[in-house]
Chains A and B, each alone.
Chain A
């Protein structure tokens, strides 16, 4: 009896361990309730479809077609109940954070864009009713609007956070702001997050040697970092001409080994052409002179 107990205990511990090692993809409870603050519109669905085709379709396939990629863990078809029964907040969290091999879209799609993808997916989920944003809004925390300027004198990027209250806009204090720069793919965070001051401002030192495009333009963004969900996300994007004008020729602009034929290195074209001409000159010369032999008919008797 004692032996059986130990065996059972052992099995139980092993099960626990297995559970601990494979926790699945758990969405924190406080994220599950997150909802979109506007009613899904046909325009949003359309934008969502375009974003889905660009970012999601390579693995998840076209919804209802079941042509998702054959990888492990299986991405699955998102029109199926497995996705359909999830709350908006769960889908949103999963898109935002990702889980290997699914990438995180936190810095790839804006919050609005993520919601439009969800609005597109919801068109496949029968019986789905969007939670009423108006009703929910009250419980969703503060509504923040951001704006961004560059302070030339102090060489700082100033982000202003304004809370929209019933009485009108008020400077938002203590909102944690993240500033980022847009790259080819995803965004680069500029510095550690900073809370806004009493007057609703957060200032970020702008590195003076930061490379911009040909005219020095840099695409900047700022958002409120709010993991607790006590504030509705706010994001602002702006193009400011504050970078160093950088006019590096593209790698394929100059003559190079890796470039197109038209941009082959001169020495390479010359070497190739010369070698071919020299060798084939001799070959053609030989063929012609051998063919000429036919004209020599007389046999010299010696």
Chain B
């Protein structure tokens, strides 16, 4: 038992690497924050977005963040409720990613607002008919449920670590004591946790499907080419699973190496996550074919312009890199067992994740560049969207925030559930009955 506790918790300390990494993040954060201050002072004009292409990096990034946060639901709820035992050590990583991305997704919207001090108006003057209100509601709800799904299984862990982990830093002790809510492995307590988890795991499925479906409706409820589609909901959800699975694999690789968790995050886990990624990527590919073949066959005038821009026009290089390099080739590679080993799988996941980000850009921007009414008598920078440096820095700011949240959670709490791992092996977490 002590072995497990030590293995899974030895990283919980303030070491040089942590300070270096956090220092780097903090510096980058401040630099990018300066860009945001510029935007606050001079307005959205400092970004490349203009009247026609009014959703640029920020909203693409928002969609990407919502997408990445969806993975918490897939791993914990869908795979967990089916009863797959191997996902158990990964659940907390998935939930951490979900919480971090969901928390920052809302901020990304604020970054896209010209007058963020009027944020309250979104609620004060909310219309029930507006997908924006639905989006705000479901993202808040999903964030709270994900936070609870992260926190509840951690309660026993914190109680055990508080009592039995000698190296727990002194300043963390009171935090653990308060957050462990007097957990003593009492059957009644376990019953409450289990029942709560069960309800949450069921609740999170509709909540998660809603957040990305509603996000897709922000586009699909218009008649614009490229967005006017009835399958946008599932298209977005399946795409979200691809991005999220890739993010989880990258995080797994990182934690396994840095926190020395080779015994707990084994090749088996990578192999299985690789299979999950292939599966969701196939589903996503299926929706992609639908999304491009169906309008491409009918070639309605506006759709034709849109598709030509994507496939052979201004966005062609990005489009084909994303579709072939970010979807087809990864699928083909991951079909082989060798490619699902930790290192190759992680490299593939990095490519997939980057492609997933650009895919959101390709969904948001090209449609806006081709409105139904002709663009005329405007300066050139209204016609073609070029993100500015300030805009890129502000977008980076959101990524840095996500990294900070993931770092803090994973650094001060066990990445892999301690008590569940112990009970799996038939050990009583509160007693040192060595086996």
Contact = CB atoms under 8 A, between A and B. Distances in A.
B203 A297 contact: no
Interface stretch (A25-33, A86-94, A223-231, A287-295): A287-295
A264 interface: yes
Interface residues of A, number: 34
B379 interface: yes
A272 B181 contact: no
Report which residue of A258, A279, A295 has the largest number of chain B beta carbons within 10 angstroms of its beta carbon. A279
Nearest to A285: B199
A80 to B, nearest CB: 20
A286 interface: yes
Contacts of A280: 141
B192 A292 contact: yes
A268 B130 CA distance: 10
Contacts of B155: 290, 293
B127 A261 contact: yes
B203 A282 contact: yes
B199 A293 contact: no
Interface string A207-229: 00000000000000000000000
A164 interface: no
Interface string A46-74: 00000000000000000000000111100
B393 interface: no
Interface in B186-205: 186-189, 192-193, 195-196, 199-200, 203
A72 B380 CA distance: 13
A101 interface: yes
B125 interface: yes
Contact of B129 (A69, A264, A291, A292): A264
Contacts of A299: 184-186, 430
Contact of B141 (A268, A279, A294): A279
A296 interface: yes
Contacts of A295: 182
A258 B128 CA distance: 10
B134 A290 contact: no
Given A293-B192, A296-B186, A299-B184, A286 B127 contact: no
A147 to B, nearest CB: 43
B127 A260 contact: yes
Contacts of A292: 192
B192 A289 contact: yes
Given A283-B148, A290-B181, A264 B127 contact: yes
Contact of B196 (A101, A258, A265, A289): A289
A279 B199 CA distance: 10
A295 B188 CA distance: 11
B137 interface: yes
Contacts of A82: none
Given A259-B129, A282-B199, A276 B192 contact: no
Contact of B189 (A72, A258, A264, A296): A296
B183 interface: yes
A302 B141 CA distance: 40
Nearest to A71: B377
B181 A293 contact: yes
A294 B182 contact: yes
B129 A286 contact: no
Nearest to A262: B127
Nearest to A271: B128
A299 B186 CA distance: 6
B182 A72 contact: no
B141 to A, nearest CB: 6
A286 B148 contact: yes
A269 interface: yes
B145 interface: yes
A270 to B, nearest CB: 9
B292 to A, nearest CB: 29
A293 B188 CA distance: 8
A298 B199 contact: no
Contact of A269 (B128, B184, B192, B377): B128
A287 B148 contact: yes
Contact of A268 (B129, B137, B430): B129
B127 A290 contact: no
Contacts of B182: 293-297
Nearest to A278: B203
Report which residue of A265, A272, A291, A298 has the largest number of chain B beta carbons within 10 angstroms of its beta carbon. A272
B302 interface: no
A264 B133 CA distance: 13
Interface string B196-228: 100110010001000000000000000000000
A257 interface: yes
B129 A265 contact: yes
Interface in B63-88: none
A294 B180 CA distance: 9
A42 to B, nearest CB: 35
B304 interface: no
A300 interface: yes
A294 B127 CA distance: 41
Contacts of B133: 272
B141 A283 contact: yes
Interface string A15-40: 00000000000000000000000000
A290 B182 CA distance: 11
Contact of B377 (A70, A290, A298): A70
Contact of A291 (B181, B185, B186, B376): B181
B408 interface: no
Nearest to B183: A293
Given A280-B141, A289-B192, A293-B192, A300 B186 contact: yes
Contacts of A259: 129
B404 interface: no
Contacts of B141: 276, 279-280, 283
B264 to A, nearest CB: 26
28 contacts: A69-B377, A72-B377, A101-B376, A101-B377, A261-B125, A261-B129, A264-B127, A264-B128, A264-B129, A265-B129, A269-B128, A279-B141, A279-B203, A279-B207, A280-B141, A282-B199, A283-B148, A283-B203, A286-B148, A286-B196, A286-B200, A290-B152, A293-B193, A296-B184, A296-B186, A297-B184, A298-B186, A300-B186
Rank and list the top 6 A-B pairs by shortest CB-CB distance, nearest first. A71-B377, A264-B128, A261-B127, A286-B196, A294-B182, A299-B184
Given A283-B141, A292-B192, A297-B186, 4 more contacts: A70-B378, A272-B133, A286-B200, A289-B195
